A = this chain, B = another copy of it.
Amino acid sequence: MVKIAVYGYGNVGKAAIEAINAAPDLELAGVVSRSLEKGALGEIPIVRNIDELKGVQVAVLCIPSRQVPDVAEELLLKGISTVDCYDIHSQVYDLFTRLDAAAKKGGSVAVTSVGFDPGIDSAIRGLFEAAAPKGLTYTDFGPGLSMGHSVAVRAIPGVKDARSITIPVGSGLHRRMVYVELEEGADFNTVATQIKADPYFVHDETHVIQVDDVESITDVGHGVTITRKGASGSAHNQRFRFEMSIDNPAMTAQMMVSVARAAVKQAPGAYTMLHLPIIDLLYGSQEELIRRLV
């Protein structure tokens, strides 16, 4: 049994607990949360500090991306392996090198940027490129809720709550449908203009719609289509397509938990979805997995 602690108790943390409980070879050591009251999850231990839990091998970090670097580094130096869903694409490599150093020092394993995208999408893009090294890959997200864009809108003055929905328009371009609930007295046109000028939205076709109750339109489903058209050797027009339609926090949490299983099998250092043997993510004997999946 691999002993796993879940860090954070938002949508992803809750789903990680479900994924661990559904796996025959994984054991939930407890939940690390600053806000959750003790006893709130029945017999599952809730702690403020991971040191209160015994024998944790892997911590699954279901926390905001910005908190990941410091939290992961501290755990890795303690010898506890980590899996995170860090999703700031432009910073992944810097985080990877930082966690690699910490993991090698602590004799632990860091797997970073696991989940949807980066995550399963990263592995798919890599496989497609191995099959057709020359060509173009497009990643088209949606339709679905973008957490990052929603957070950006909520930071704009006059916005009480918001959800930004990503609509794929093809070739890696996206339309943003932004549903806002306004503070009393806020001016819709002023808010809409600010949203459209925000760096998160300025390059995309963006529509802002006022609603009375953002909660009533909330659905955490999401999707993606990845297409590659390329050449294998001298054979052109090779076509590859991946589509996924999912409960996003549940898929993200499940992939992190599958990766936690793989983490304990790797040598100390940092990894991404591109670095892990797929077989290590799966439950079962090597013989059974080869016979069934290869």
- Hey, which chain B residues are within 8 Å of A283, CB to CB? 133
The segment out of A39-47, A145-153, A239-247 that lies at the interface is: A239-247
The segment out of A74-82, A175-183, A211-219, A249-257 that lies at the interface is: A249-257
Measured in the bound complex, the distance between the Cα atoms of B244 and A127 in whole Å is 12
Residue of B nearest to A15 (CB): B233
Partner of A232 from B19, B123, B291 at Cβ < 8 Å:
B19
- Hey, which chain B residues are within 8 Å of A272, CB to CB? 279, 290, 294
Q: Is A206 part of the contact surface with B, judged by Cβ < 8 Å?
A: no
Tell me if B126 and A290 are in contact (CB < 8 A).
no
Tell me if A254 and B275 are in contact (CB < 8 A).
no
Tell me if B242 and A242 are in contact (CB < 8 A).
yes
Q: How large is the interface on A (under 10, 10 to 19, 20 to 34, 35 or more residues)?
A: 35 or more
Tell me if B18 and A290 are in contact (CB < 8 A).
no
Measured in the bound complex, the distance between the Cα atoms of B194 and A151 in whole Å is 66
Q: Is A234 part of the contact surface with B, judged by Cβ < 8 Å?
A: yes
The segment out of A61-69, A88-96, A154-162, A185-193 that lies at the interface is: A88-96
Tell me if A240 and B239 are in contact (CB < 8 A).
no
- Hey, which chain B residues are within 8 Å of A254, CB to CB? 130-133, 232-233, 235
- Hey, which chain B residues are within 8 Å of A133, CB to CB? 22-23, 254, 258, 282-283
Main SS class of interface, A: helix
Known: A89-B294, A133-B254, A293-B126. A278 touches B274 (CB 8 A): yes
Known: A131-B254, A240-B244. A279 touches B290 (CB 8 A): no
Tell me if A240 and B241 are in contact (CB < 8 A).
no
Measured in the bound complex, the distance between the Cα atoms of B243 and A244 in whole Å is 12
- In the assembled complex, the CB of A284 is this many whole angstroms from the nearest CB of chain B, namely 9
- Hey, which chain B residues are within 8 Å of A281, CB to CB? 126-127, 130
Known: A251-B238, A275-B277, A277-B274. A232 touches B246 (CB 8 A): yes
Known: A242-B241, A246-B232. A278 touches B127 (CB 8 A): yes
Residues of A participating in the B interface, judged by any CB pair closer than 8 Å: 15-19, 21-23, 89, 92-93, 96, 113, 118, 120, 122-127, 129-134, 231-235, 238-247, 250-251, 253-255, 257-259, 272-279, 281-283, 287, 289-291, 293-294
A-B contact pairs, 27 of them (CB 8 A): A18-B234, A19-B232, A22-B134, A22-B234, A89-B294, A92-B290, A92-B291, A96-B290, A113-B294, A123-B278, A127-B281, A130-B255, A130-B259, A131-B251, A132-B251, A132-B254, A133-B254, A232-B247, A232-B254, A233-B257, A235-B254, A240-B242, A240-B243, A240-B244, A242-B242, A272-B294, A275-B277
